[in-house]
Amino acid sequence: MALRTTGRALSAVVRVACFAHLVLTYGFEIRQTRGQSMLPTIFYKDDYIVIDKRSRLGRNISVGDCVVVHKPTAPSTSVCKRVSGMPGDVVLRRPDESLDDFVKVPEGHCWITGDNLRSSADSREYGAVPLALVQGRVVASYMPPGPLKPVANTLVTADR
C-alpha cells in the first residue's frame, strides 16, 4: 500500500515537472529585469517582464517588438531590447552619432537596440543578432505592487 502511494506521488511530481518544463520552455516566463537600457518602457530595477516563448528563435517577431535574447558576447546572459531591423532591412547603425552609416541586416538575423540609447549595449556594439538567440517576445511588464502593463510594439509607420 505504501509503495503504491509513493508511486502515485512520484508520478504526480513527474507530471507537474513536465508540465512546468513545457510552460517555461514553450509558453510564458516571468523574469526580473535590471539595467537602464529599456527606460522608459521597462524600469531599471525591481521590474518584472512576461516573456511569450512562442516567439522563441525569432518566430512571429517584427520590427518594434521588445524581445529577450541571449547576448551574443556573453551567451549565458540575457538582454531585453527592441527589434529595429529584420532580415533584409537597412538600418542606421548608430542613430545617436551618425546619420549616414547604414547596415543591411543579414538573413537569419535581427538588429536590436535599447529604448534608452545612451545606456544600451546592443547591435550598435556587437552587430546583428542571430534569430536563433531570441528567447521570446516581451508582452507585459510588472513592478510590484502596480498593475500589469502591456509592452506594445512601438513601430510607427510613415504615411506615404
Q: Which of 37, 55, 120, 123 is catalytic?
A: 37
- Distance, in Å, from the CA atom of 65 to the CA atom of 112, rounded to the nearest integer, reads 10
Find the catalytic residue in 53, 55, 81, 84.
Answer: 81
CB 72 within 8 A of CB 57: no
Q: How many Å is the maximal CA-CA distance in the chain?
A: 77
Of residues 154, 138, 159, 147, the one with CA closest to residue 50? 138
Look up cell 508520478; give the residue.
Answer: 11
List strand residue ranges (DSSP E) for 25-146, in order: 28-34, 45-52, 66-71, 74-85, 90-92, 102-104, 109-113, 129-130, 134-142
Identify whether 76 is a catalytic site residue: no
Whether 71 is a known active-site residue: answer no
Residues facing 92 on adjacent strands? 102
Structure-block grid coordinates of residue 104? 543591411
Q: Which residues are catalytic?
A: 37, 81
